Amino acid sequence: MRGLTRSLSSKGHETHLWFVGAPDAPGQETRRDADGAALHLHRWCQWLSAGLPNGVYDGEAEKVDDYQRSLPPSLFERLAPKLMAGERATILAEEHQTVGAVVQLDALLRQAGLRERVTLGWNASDTYGFERIDWAALDAAATVTTVTESMRALLRERGVDALLVPNGLDEEAFEPVPRKALRRLRGRLRERLLLAKVGVFDPRERWEEAMQVVASLKAQGELPLLVARGVGGDGSAARERARALGLRVAFRAFDAGADGAEMGLRGLEAVDVLFAEGPLDREAERTLLRGATAVLTQRDGATSGLLELETMAAGGVACTGHAEAFCEPGENALVLGGGPREVSGALEGLAHRPREATRIRRGARRTARRFRWPKVVEERLRVAPAAHA
């Protein structure tokens, strides 16, 4: 959503983004790009984030409740004068946490007789929280969209005929990882087979299988190191599985940036699985995606494919179990449908075939460039520049 809003603002559209924001940042902020295009940021729930600072999932229930109670009336108050003056608005929301706010905003607009002046959409980018959604109410309130055919099929099972829209990547996803930090990281871990896994602590993300992959690599004589960054939930199942397999586990918070990622991986000779604690900024995350032999993105069920795309944009190797339309086995990703032994065998082979790894990384970057938000907005969403721009 962040990349989409930036692309819309660059075309001259007045663009605002409301999100659960960090407590120590301005509540409202306007950012301008090199051409002067403005993106207006509105950080919500900051009073809650002050006591629950470890990311959006820290105190998720409290933040969702506050968001859906306070944002709709505030947004309506901002919109109503412009709508009554004859202007139009497009409002897009994403993820299950925003559904209540969308339904309430729809009701407020209808009560005021202004609903027809607003295009209201909700995008399904992931399956998390699907069981909590009142699909009939959401479908009545907004146009439902999704990003992949597999997600669209899943929504049909819930009685929703969603529109298919493409996923996209913002420009930050393509920023190169600082070479010095990457070189130090790889030099320090040259004897290790570095893996990364980033996602929500949920059984569908196959965290326990990732631990089995590490154990299998050790059994094959490799020296794996998995950096696991999970959000939501407590990750206890993954930790318990790792220990049951005899893996050595450690916990560590990372400082910001590429240097923070590199320094966070020091002194881990006696560690098989490192659980990253606390926030992980985008540059540190991109450094891990780029520096790892592979990023484990396998999960059960439908997927948005966004983590695969972010890995590709960073120049990393995504190891996925889903053959999304953009994933070409052996060309821009590892696409494996088997279990931990098949995955560990493929990873071992990749680690010892650097030319193949380089070819996949280059193919991945080429693929990711097709999904830059400016390109998607212009060529696939066909959004024209604002009339006044």
CB 310 within 8 A of CB 280: no
pLDDT at 107: 98
CB 308 within 8 A of CB 297: yes
SS3 115: helix
CB 344 within 8 A of CB 217: yes
Phi first, then psi, for residue 19 (nearest 5°) are: -155, 160
- pLDDT mean for each 10 residues of the chain (389 residues): 74 86 90 81 92 83 95 97 95 94 98 96 89 96 90 93 88 92 93 95 92 97 96 87 97 95 95 92 95 94 85 96 80 90 95 95 96 78 57
Q: Helices marked H in the chain — which ranges?
A: 2-10, 46-49, 60-84, 99-111, 135-141, 149-156, 179-188, 207-219, 236-244, 257-264, 282-291, 306-313, 340-351, 354-369, 373-375
Domain 172-369 has CATH 3.40.50.2000: yes
Q: How many angstroms separate the first and last alpha carbons of the chain?
A: 22
Query: No. of H helices and E strands in the chain?
Result: 15, 14
CA angle 2, 9, 366 (to 5 degrees): 60
C-alpha 5/C-alpha 10 separation (Å) is 9
CA-wise closest residue to 372 among 171, 94, 175: 171
CA-wise closest residue to 273 among 311, 315, 234, 245: 245
C-alpha 258/C-alpha 354 separation (Å) is 23
Helix-strand-coil percent breakdown of the chain, rounded to 5? 45, 20, 35
CB 199 within 8 A of CB 307: yes
C-alpha 44/C-alpha 28 separation (Å) is 9
C-alpha 218/C-alpha 211 separation (Å) is 11
pLDDT at 389: 43
Report in angstroms the alpha-carbon separations of 206 from 224, 228, 300, 324.
18, 12, 7, 18
pLDDT at 260: 95
| Residue 260: both structure tokens together | 């923070």
pLDDT at 382: 61
Domain positions in the chain = 2-168, 172-369
pLDDT at 72: 98
Indicate the pairing of strand 273-277 with strand 318-320. unpaired
